Amino acid sequence: MEVWWVWVGAAIVGVVAGIINTLAGSGSLLTLPMLIFLGLPADVANGTNRVGIIVQSMVAVATFRHGGKFEIGPREWKLAGIAFVGSVLGALVAVQMNDVVMRIVIAAVMLGSLVVILAKPGQFAAKDTREKPLTPLLLLAFLAIGVYGGFIQASVGILLLVALVAGAGYDIVKANGLKLFLTIMFTAGAIPIFALNSQIDWGLGALMAGGQSLGAWMAARFAVKSDKAADWIQRLIVVVIIFSVIKLLVDL
Protein backbone atom coordinates (compact mmCIF):
# COMPACT_ATOMS: atom_id res chain seq x y z
CA MET A 1 0.00 0.00 0.00
CA GLU A 2 3.03 2.29 0.24
CA VAL A 3 4.00 2.01 -3.44
CA TRP A 4 3.04 5.28 -5.13
CA TRP A 5 1.81 3.70 -8.35
CA VAL A 6 -0.66 1.55 -6.40
CA TRP A 7 -2.28 4.69 -5.04
CA VAL A 8 -2.27 6.31 -8.48
CA GLY A 9 -3.85 3.17 -9.91
CA ALA A 10 -6.54 3.28 -7.23
CA ALA A 11 -7.33 6.90 -8.10
CA ILE A 12 -7.55 6.06 -11.82
CA VAL A 13 -9.89 3.15 -11.09
CA GLY A 14 -11.96 5.61 -9.06
CA VAL A 15 -12.29 7.92 -12.09
CA VAL A 16 -13.36 5.04 -14.35
CA ALA A 17 -15.81 3.78 -11.73
CA GLY A 18 -17.29 7.26 -11.34
CA ILE A 19 -17.95 7.45 -15.07
CA ILE A 20 -19.48 3.97 -15.20
CA ASN A 21 -21.63 4.49 -12.11
CA THR A 22 -22.97 7.81 -13.39
CA LEU A 23 -23.83 6.60 -16.88
CA ALA A 24 -25.17 3.18 -15.92
CA GLY A 25 -23.93 1.17 -12.94
CA SER A 26 -21.52 -1.55 -11.80
CA GLY A 27 -18.59 0.75 -10.99
CA SER A 28 -18.30 -1.02 -7.64
CA LEU A 29 -17.28 -4.13 -9.54
CA LEU A 30 -14.01 -2.24 -10.08
CA THR A 31 -13.61 -0.35 -6.79
CA LEU A 32 -14.56 -3.17 -4.42
CA PRO A 33 -11.89 -5.64 -5.62
CA MET A 34 -9.38 -2.77 -5.89
CA LEU A 35 -9.84 -2.01 -2.18
CA ILE A 36 -9.42 -5.68 -1.32
CA PHE A 37 -6.27 -5.93 -3.46
CA LEU A 38 -4.90 -2.89 -1.62
CA GLY A 39 -4.99 -4.96 1.54
CA LEU A 40 -8.35 -4.23 3.16
CA PRO A 41 -10.36 -7.13 4.62
CA ALA A 42 -13.46 -7.79 2.51
CA ASP A 43 -15.85 -6.48 5.17
CA VAL A 44 -13.86 -3.23 5.56
CA ALA A 45 -13.61 -2.86 1.76
CA ASN A 46 -17.40 -3.22 1.57
CA GLY A 47 -17.84 -0.34 4.01
CA THR A 48 -15.04 1.82 2.60
CA ASN A 49 -16.49 1.54 -0.91
CA ARG A 50 -19.53 3.58 0.25
CA VAL A 51 -17.46 6.73 0.82
CA GLY A 52 -16.67 7.13 -2.87
CA ILE A 53 -20.19 6.08 -3.87
CA ILE A 54 -21.97 8.79 -1.87
CA VAL A 55 -19.51 11.56 -2.81
CA GLN A 56 -19.57 10.79 -6.54
CA SER A 57 -23.37 10.52 -6.49
CA MET A 58 -23.64 13.96 -4.86
CA VAL A 59 -21.33 15.45 -7.49
CA ALA A 60 -23.28 13.86 -10.33
CA VAL A 61 -26.70 14.92 -8.96
CA ALA A 62 -25.46 18.49 -8.40
CA THR A 63 -24.16 18.58 -11.99
CA PHE A 64 -27.41 17.20 -13.40
CA ARG A 65 -29.41 19.68 -11.32
CA HIS A 66 -27.26 22.60 -12.47
CA GLY A 67 -27.96 21.56 -16.05
CA GLY A 68 -31.70 21.40 -15.44
CA LYS A 69 -31.81 17.62 -15.84
CA PHE A 70 -32.86 16.67 -12.32
CA GLU A 71 -35.93 17.32 -10.19
CA ILE A 72 -37.76 15.38 -7.48
CA GLY A 73 -41.22 15.47 -5.92
CA PRO A 74 -43.27 13.56 -3.34
CA ARG A 75 -43.28 10.42 -5.51
CA GLU A 76 -39.48 10.35 -5.67
CA TRP A 77 -39.09 11.11 -1.95
CA LYS A 78 -41.33 8.13 -1.22
CA LEU A 79 -39.07 5.83 -3.19
CA ALA A 80 -36.01 7.33 -1.50
CA GLY A 81 -37.47 6.80 1.98
CA ILE A 82 -38.24 3.16 1.24
CA ALA A 83 -34.76 2.56 -0.18
CA PHE A 84 -33.22 4.24 2.89
CA VAL A 85 -35.02 1.90 5.29
CA GLY A 86 -33.94 -1.09 3.23
CA SER A 87 -30.31 0.03 3.23
CA VAL A 88 -30.20 0.17 7.03
CA LEU A 89 -31.47 -3.41 7.20
CA GLY A 90 -28.95 -4.56 4.59
CA ALA A 91 -26.01 -2.85 6.31
CA LEU A 92 -26.95 -4.37 9.67
CA VAL A 93 -26.67 -7.81 8.08
CA ALA A 94 -23.39 -7.00 6.30
CA VAL A 95 -21.49 -5.87 9.42
CA GLN A 96 -22.14 -9.23 11.08
CA MET A 97 -20.22 -11.17 8.44
CA ASN A 98 -16.56 -12.09 8.82
CA ASP A 99 -13.93 -11.62 6.11
CA VAL A 100 -14.14 -15.15 4.67
CA VAL A 101 -17.92 -15.14 4.39
CA MET A 102 -17.89 -11.65 2.87
CA ARG A 103 -15.32 -12.72 0.26
CA ILE A 104 -17.56 -15.61 -0.76
CA VAL A 105 -20.60 -13.32 -0.90
CA ILE A 106 -18.74 -10.72 -2.99
CA ALA A 107 -17.52 -13.43 -5.38
CA ALA A 108 -21.08 -14.76 -5.74
CA VAL A 109 -22.48 -11.28 -6.35
CA MET A 110 -19.84 -10.56 -8.96
CA LEU A 111 -20.62 -13.80 -10.79
CA GLY A 112 -24.31 -12.90 -10.71
CA SER A 113 -23.48 -9.44 -12.01
CA LEU A 114 -21.49 -11.02 -14.84
CA VAL A 115 -24.59 -12.92 -15.95
CA VAL A 116 -26.70 -9.75 -15.78
CA ILE A 117 -24.16 -7.70 -17.75
CA LEU A 118 -23.81 -10.32 -20.47
CA ALA A 119 -27.61 -10.44 -20.72
CA LYS A 120 -27.47 -6.72 -21.67
CA PRO A 121 -30.09 -5.33 -19.26
CA GLY A 122 -29.91 -1.97 -21.08
CA GLN A 123 -32.26 -3.48 -23.63
CA PHE A 124 -35.07 -3.23 -21.08
CA ALA A 125 -35.65 0.46 -22.00
CA ALA A 126 -39.35 0.33 -22.77
CA LYS A 127 -40.95 2.31 -25.56
CA ASP A 128 -43.81 3.31 -23.22
CA THR A 129 -42.23 5.59 -20.60
CA ARG A 130 -45.41 6.96 -19.00
CA GLU A 131 -45.02 6.99 -15.23
CA LYS A 132 -46.82 4.05 -13.61
CA PRO A 133 -48.54 3.80 -10.21
CA LEU A 134 -46.36 2.90 -7.24
CA THR A 135 -48.04 -0.41 -6.44
CA PRO A 136 -47.29 -2.32 -3.20
CA LEU A 137 -45.31 -4.86 -5.23
CA LEU A 138 -43.20 -2.12 -6.82
CA LEU A 139 -42.56 -0.48 -3.45
CA LEU A 140 -41.50 -3.88 -2.09
CA ALA A 141 -39.07 -4.15 -5.00
CA PHE A 142 -37.50 -0.79 -4.08
CA LEU A 143 -37.27 -1.91 -0.45
CA ALA A 144 -35.44 -5.06 -1.59
CA ILE A 145 -33.09 -2.99 -3.75
CA GLY A 146 -32.37 -0.79 -0.72
CA VAL A 147 -31.56 -3.88 1.36
CA TYR A 148 -29.22 -5.11 -1.36
CA GLY A 149 -27.61 -1.67 -1.71
CA GLY A 150 -26.99 -1.44 2.02
CA PHE A 151 -25.60 -4.96 2.08
CA ILE A 152 -23.18 -5.03 -0.87
CA GLN A 153 -23.80 -2.09 -3.31
CA ALA A 154 -22.20 -3.72 -6.40
CA SER A 155 -24.42 -3.49 -9.52
CA VAL A 156 -27.25 -1.83 -7.60
CA GLY A 157 -27.34 0.90 -10.29
CA ILE A 158 -28.48 -1.65 -12.86
CA LEU A 159 -31.24 -2.88 -10.54
CA LEU A 160 -32.39 0.69 -9.93
CA LEU A 161 -32.51 1.52 -13.63
CA VAL A 162 -34.57 -1.58 -14.37
CA ALA A 163 -37.00 -0.79 -11.53
CA LEU A 164 -37.29 2.89 -12.43
CA VAL A 165 -37.77 2.43 -16.18
CA ALA A 166 -39.49 -0.94 -16.55
CA GLY A 167 -41.28 -0.77 -13.20
CA ALA A 168 -42.08 2.87 -12.41
CA GLY A 169 -42.22 4.07 -16.03
CA TYR A 170 -39.58 6.81 -15.97
CA ASP A 171 -37.77 7.69 -19.16
CA ILE A 172 -34.11 6.66 -19.15
CA VAL A 173 -32.72 10.21 -18.76
CA LYS A 174 -34.83 11.03 -15.71
CA ALA A 175 -34.26 7.54 -14.31
CA ASN A 176 -30.49 8.00 -14.47
CA GLY A 177 -30.61 11.12 -12.31
CA LEU A 178 -33.11 9.58 -9.91
CA LYS A 179 -30.94 6.46 -9.67
CA LEU A 180 -28.11 8.63 -8.33
CA PHE A 181 -30.41 10.37 -5.83
CA LEU A 182 -31.66 7.03 -4.48
CA THR A 183 -28.06 5.86 -4.24
CA ILE A 184 -27.24 8.88 -2.05
CA MET A 185 -30.17 8.08 0.21
CA PHE A 186 -29.49 4.42 0.83
CA THR A 187 -25.74 4.94 1.08
CA ALA A 188 -26.38 7.59 3.73
CA GLY A 189 -28.34 4.95 5.64
CA ALA A 190 -25.54 2.39 5.42
CA ILE A 191 -22.39 4.47 6.12
CA PRO A 192 -23.07 5.20 9.82
CA ILE A 193 -23.58 1.49 10.50
CA PHE A 194 -20.28 0.54 8.85
CA ALA A 195 -18.50 3.42 10.61
CA LEU A 196 -19.82 2.42 14.04
CA ASN A 197 -18.51 -1.11 13.42
CA SER A 198 -15.05 0.19 12.35
CA GLN A 199 -15.51 -1.11 8.82
CA ILE A 200 -14.43 2.02 6.92
CA ASP A 201 -10.87 3.04 6.02
CA TRP A 202 -11.40 6.79 5.66
CA GLY A 203 -8.02 7.43 3.97
CA LEU A 204 -8.55 4.99 1.12
CA GLY A 205 -12.21 5.96 1.01
CA ALA A 206 -11.24 9.60 0.45
CA LEU A 207 -8.75 8.62 -2.27
CA MET A 208 -11.35 6.62 -4.18
CA ALA A 209 -13.94 9.35 -3.60
CA GLY A 210 -11.69 11.93 -5.24
CA GLY A 211 -11.27 9.84 -8.36
CA GLN A 212 -14.93 8.82 -8.47
CA SER A 213 -16.07 12.43 -8.08
CA LEU A 214 -13.94 13.51 -11.03
CA GLY A 215 -15.33 10.63 -13.11
CA ALA A 216 -18.91 11.44 -12.07
CA TRP A 217 -18.45 15.11 -12.98
CA MET A 218 -16.99 14.21 -16.37
CA ALA A 219 -19.76 11.73 -17.15
CA ALA A 220 -22.58 14.04 -16.04
CA ARG A 221 -21.16 17.01 -17.96
CA PHE A 222 -20.34 15.28 -21.21
CA ALA A 223 -22.51 12.80 -23.06
CA VAL A 224 -20.76 9.66 -24.20
CA LYS A 225 -22.18 8.69 -27.61
CA SER A 226 -19.70 6.07 -28.85
CA ASP A 227 -21.18 2.59 -28.94
CA LYS A 228 -17.66 1.19 -29.18
CA ALA A 229 -16.66 2.97 -25.98
CA ALA A 230 -19.62 1.39 -24.19
CA ASP A 231 -18.63 -2.03 -25.53
CA TRP A 232 -15.05 -1.64 -24.30
CA ILE A 233 -16.25 -0.56 -20.86
CA GLN A 234 -18.42 -3.68 -20.67
CA ARG A 235 -15.50 -5.87 -21.74
CA LEU A 236 -13.29 -4.28 -19.11
CA ILE A 237 -15.84 -4.99 -16.40
CA VAL A 238 -16.21 -8.62 -17.54
CA VAL A 239 -12.43 -9.15 -17.38
CA VAL A 240 -12.21 -7.49 -13.96
CA ILE A 241 -15.06 -9.64 -12.62
CA ILE A 242 -13.49 -12.90 -13.79
CA PHE A 243 -10.06 -11.97 -12.43
CA SER A 244 -11.50 -10.68 -9.14
CA VAL A 245 -13.64 -13.77 -8.49
CA ILE A 246 -10.61 -16.03 -9.01
CA LYS A 247 -8.45 -13.86 -6.71
CA LEU A 248 -11.13 -13.68 -4.01
CA LEU A 249 -11.65 -17.43 -3.90
CA VAL A 250 -7.97 -18.39 -4.22
CA ASP A 251 -7.09 -16.18 -1.23
CA LEU A 252 -9.67 -17.79 1.09
C-alpha dihedral (87, 88, 90, 93), degrees to nearest 10 = 170
74 CB burial (10 A radius; 0-12, 13-18, 19+): exposed
What pLDDT, on the 0 to 100 scale, is given for residue 91? Answer: 93
What pLDDT, on the 0 to 100 scale, is given for residue 153? Answer: 79
Count the domains in the chain: 1
- 107 against 1, higher pLDDT: 107
158-198 tens-digit pLDDT: 778 778 887 888 877 777 788 889 989 989 999 999 999 99
Distance CA(215)–CA(16), nearest Å, equals 6
What pLDDT, on the 0 to 100 scale, is given for residue 252? Answer: 59
HEC readout, the chain? CCCHHHHHHHHHHHHHHHHHHHHCCCCHHHHHHHHHHCCCCHHHHHHHHHHHHHHHHHHHHHHHHHCCCCCCCHHHHHHHHHHHHHHHHHHHHHCCCCHHHHHHHHHHHHHHHHHHHHCCHHHHCCCCCCCCCCCHHHHHHHHHHHHHHHHCCCCHHHHHHHHHHHHCCCCHHHHHHHHHHHHHHHHHHHHHHHHHCCCCCHHHHHHHHHHHHHHHHHHHHCCCCCHHHHHHHHHHHHHHHHHHHHHHHHCC
The average pLDDT across 126-148 equals: 79
What pLDDT, on the 0 to 100 scale, is given for residue 196? Answer: 94
Mean pLDDT of the chain: 77
62: nearest Cα among 168, 216, 187 = 216
Which domain covers residue 42, as residue numbers?
4-250
- Model confidence at 124: pLDDT above 60: no
33 CB burial (10 A radius; 0-12, 13-18, 19+): buried
Contact criterion met (CB below 8 Å) for 159 and 87: no
pLDDT band at 223 (very low <50, low <70, confident <90, very high): very low
What pLDDT, on the 0 to 100 scale, is given for residue 120? Answer: 57
The average pLDDT across 200-204 equals: 87
Q: What percent of the chain has pLDDT over 70?
A: 74
What pLDDT, on the 0 to 100 scale, is given for residue 64? Answer: 73
pTM of the model: 0.76
- 44 against 134, higher pLDDT: 44
What pLDDT, on the 0 to 100 scale, is given for residue 221? Answer: 65
